[in-house]
Amino acid sequence: MEKPSALVRIAKVVAIAIIVTLMLYPFAYVILASLTPPGETLRFGLIPSDWTLDAYRSVLAGRIIPRALMVSVGITVVGTVLSVGFTTMLAFGLTRTKDIPGSKGVLYVVLFTMLFGAGLIPNFILVKELGLLNSYWSLILPGLISAFNMLVVRNFFMQIPAELTDSARIDGASDRQVFVRIMLPLSKAVIAVIALFYAVGYWNAFFNALIYIQDTSKWPIQLVLNTYAVQGSPISSIENPNAAGSVTPHAIQMAIVVLATLPILCVYPFAQRFFTKGVLTGAIKG
């Protein structure tokens, strides 16, 4: 295609600059604010002349934030492992609807849940009746398998050539061996994507924790973040009286925001290449 005119090129560069600034400015501001010592003020992206990690030291020396981070890490790790395991198992179980009687019915049972959800209150009552209130399992079990993720994996499994599994079966491999030795190793990309989806979901879980976990000592990081950084409960009361004066409450709030965002920022670049190319678009295109 012909080269665009100079005017169009300039307009595109300006548009890119605006888009990138709008997306990244809040991150930059929050990170800079968390590093700003008392007495310095950040105005409109002005970089402070001095910076300090005191806010992070203060937050991490306290009790509440490290504990909430540990709770979230635990839920994320355990939840992601279980979710990926049960999702891939179900997806594999539903790949051969012709020779596995009943599996097509199960597929419809799953698909219907995408069309009609039960609603907030019945779900809450169920979790309560199961005795899961105030249990970390209330943050994992109700969302153990996402129908969408299951379909993405199943699509992927079904695109794996049948010859590969057939020859293994002729050699006497059981369905379990076919699953573990052939399907899973060939599906690393799709597993990486759904693992990311699940992990992000568990890490970000807010509402489930709000209604199911009444014991504040069991709160995951999102609830703590909401209390101190969004609703603005006074921060000094929670932590480290020694640090008072050397850091501003605002820097502490911003440090909590950064700590809650950090795991996502760390994992994201590694997983990102999978969904721009390949897996997800492949699944979307069917």
Partner 1 sequence: MSEPSSLQGQAHAEPAEARAVLGQDPATPPVPSAEAGAKQPAPFLRRLANAIHHHPWMYAFILPGLAFFVLFHYVPLLGNVIAFQDYSPYLGVIGSRWVGLQNFAAIFRDPEIINAITNTLIISFLQLVFAFPAPIALAIFLNSLLSERIKRWIQTVVYLPHFLSWVIVIALWQQVLGGAGSLANGLSLLGIENVNLMSDPSFFKVLVVLQVIWKDVGWGTIIFFAAISTISAELYESAAVDGAGSWRRIWHVTLPGLLPVTVMLLILQLGNVLTVGFEQLLLQQPAVGAGAAQVIDTFVYYRGIAGGDWGVSTAVGLIKGVVGTVLVLGANRLAKRLGTDGLF
Footprint (CB under 8 A) of partner 1, residues 203-232: 203-207, 211, 222, 225-226, 229-231
- In Å, what is the CA distance from 119 to each residue of 116, 123, 124, 246? 9, 7, 9, 48
Residue from 144, 182, 189, 192 binding partner 1 (CB under 8 A):
144
Footprint (CB under 8 A) of partner 1, residues 163-192: 174-176, 179
Q: How far apart are CA 19 and CA 37, in angstroms?
A: 30
Residue 110 engages partner 1 in binding (rule: CB under 8 A): yes
Cβ pair 59, 255 in contact under 8 A: yes
Residue from 53, 133, 147, 243 binding partner 1 (CB under 8 A):
147
Residues in the chain: 286
Footprint (CB under 8 A) of partner 1, residues 12-71: 12, 15-16, 19-20, 22-27, 29-30, 33, 41-45
Structure tokens at 225: 């973040």
Task: Write down the least CB distance from residue 242 to partner 1, Å.
Answer: 25
Residue 108 engages partner 1 in binding (rule: CB under 8 A): yes
Stretch that binds partner 1, among 49-57, 84-92, 184-192, 239-247 (CB under 8 A): 84-92
Rg (CA), the chain: 24
Smaller CB separation from partner 1, 116 or 171: 116
Stretch that binds partner 1, among 55-63, 118-126, 160-168, 237-245 (CB under 8 A): 118-126
Cβ pair 219, 71 in contact under 8 A: yes
Which uninterrupted H or E stretch holds 255?
A: helix 249-276
Q: How far apart are CA 133 and CA 135, in angstroms?
A: 5
Number of residues that bind partner 1 (CB under 8 A): 111
